[in-house]
A = this chain, B = another copy of it.
Amino acid sequence: MNNFTFYAPTMFEFGDGAEKKAGELVRRFGGSKVLLVYGGGSVLRNGSYAAVTASLSEAGIPFAELSGIHANPRSGKVYEGIDLCRKEGIDFLLALGGGSVIDTAKAIGVGALYDGDFWDFFTGAAAVEQTLPVGVVLTISAAGSEGSDSCVITNENGNLKWGMKKSDLIRPKFAVLNPRFTCSLPSYQTASGITDMMAHICERYFTNTTDVEVTDRIAEGLLRTIIEAAPKVMENPDDYAARANIMWSGMLAHNSSCGVGREEDWASHQIEHELSALYDCAHGAGLAVIMPAWMEYVMPHDVVRFAQFAVRVWGCEMDFADPENTAREGIKRFCSFLHSIGMPITFEEIGAHAEDIDRMVAHRAEKPSGFPFGNFVKIYEADMAEILRLAAGL
């Protein structure tokens, strides 16, 4: 186990009706004028917008609004938010929605207190030293951004989907999680979220660090919880108990609980970012196409770990004579699971084209971090191209 720092001081209010505490929580964490950041119709339809604005009013907290945030959130909205914060004297950001809205709020938070271009925090030209505080009312189980130290934005200037350097400073002060709001999500979005949180766990699970039994067991336990709850919500979207188990698992999947003490990987996310930057597909759907291909490609690097994944997570019987057989069976069951919840598993299904592979590899090379990336196996240009070819069924 590696040495580590774990600092995840977000306050979570979880359960049906928890959004009514939003105003009181903003007050508790020092907010006196809020920028409410959200997407569009869904928060109006599911009642969360009404409940949150009522709670702010009840607490006597004035607020401005920034709406229209979409999946794969864009830099334009960040600039707009920063301007609004300065013009309106905002001292607290309240994100209402899912990962895109939260990440937009996080980027606005650091940008509003910085003299230069907020994108400097993504290129590495600047490091986060301060931020406006961010609170969250989560309406989608997926991103884990509600408790995480990370933030991903797509810069429209060049279609660059990049992550901010991780910092405990950008973890939200509080997050309100009401599983009820997730019941009205379209099933494709529910499934994308499930895939994303499973990917967040797998990116940490596949590691070369030894002696990390405790985090292995937590990761495996979260995956099993999700695998068991997923078919229930696909069949009955209003299954509150299953929604609740998925929602809390999604938070734990990404708040570092599964990653402490070990080297994390993140190659699949890096590859997916090129996919969704180019095709604007749902992040989870992109991961459903990339992760199994990545697994197939890197499995020979550590057959035993993939066999452990197969046995402990997917309930495979260990083939002691041929552990690779077990390892392959685990990946196969992962694919079947993704398929069963309606995720695409081929390139075509997300609108991707094999002829764009070189373009995606070249686009990745433009990032400051460039090549290689990933830690379980270092991914160079040729590896990324091969993984994309596997994903494309070539």
Question: What is the interface of chain A, defined by CB distance below 8 A to chain B?
Answer: 1-18, 210-214, 217-218, 220-222, 224-225, 228-229, 241-242, 244-245, 248-249, 252, 257, 260-261
Contacts and interface: CB of A to CB of B under 8 A. Distances in A.
A10 B11 CA distance: 12
Given A245-B211, A260-B248, A261-B248, A17 B3 contact: yes
B260 A14 contact: yes
A18 B8 CA distance: 18
Contacts of A221: 214, 217-218, 220-221
A234 B2 CA distance: 22
Contact of A214 (B8, B13, B249): B249
A362 B245 CA distance: 42
A14 B242 CA distance: 34
Contact of A15 (B4, B9, B12, B244): B4
A217 B222 CA distance: 7
Nearest to A215: B248
A8 B255 CA distance: 12
Contacts of A2: 15
Contact of A261 (B4, B211, B214, B244): B244
Nearest to A218: B221
A217 to B, nearest CB: 3
A211 B15 CA distance: 13
A20 to B, nearest CB: 11
Given A214-B222, A214-B252, A18 B1 contact: no
A5 to B, nearest CB: 6
A247 to B, nearest CB: 9
A75 B380 CA distance: 62
A4 B383 CA distance: 45
A13 B5 contact: yes
A136 to B, nearest CB: 14
Contact of A3 (B14, B229, B257, B261): B14
Given A8-B8, A15-B261, 8 more contacts: A3-B15, A3-B17, A7-B11, A213-B228, A213-B229, A214-B245, A214-B249, A248-B260
Nearest to A212: B245
Contacts of A14: 3-6, 260-261
A241 B3 CA distance: 11
Q: Choose among A211, A221, A252 the residue with the greatest number of B CB atoms under 10 Å from its CB.
A: A221
A37 B166 CA distance: 35
Contacts of A12: 4-7
A243 to B, nearest CB: 10
Nearest to A1: B244
Contacts of A4: 12, 14-15
Nearest to A211: B241
Nearest to A174: B7
30 contacts: A1-B245, A1-B248, A2-B15, A3-B15, A3-B18, A4-B15, A5-B11, A6-B12, A6-B14, A7-B11, A8-B9, A9-B9, A9-B11, A14-B260, A14-B261, A210-B241, A211-B242, A212-B245, A213-B245, A214-B222, A214-B249, A217-B222, A217-B224, A217-B225, A218-B218, A218-B222, A218-B252, A221-B221, A248-B260, A257-B257
Interface centre among A2, A10, A244 (most CB of B within 10 A): A244
Contacts of A214: 221-222, 225, 245, 248-249, 252
Q: Most B CB atoms within 10 A — which of A15, A217, A222, A244?
A: A217
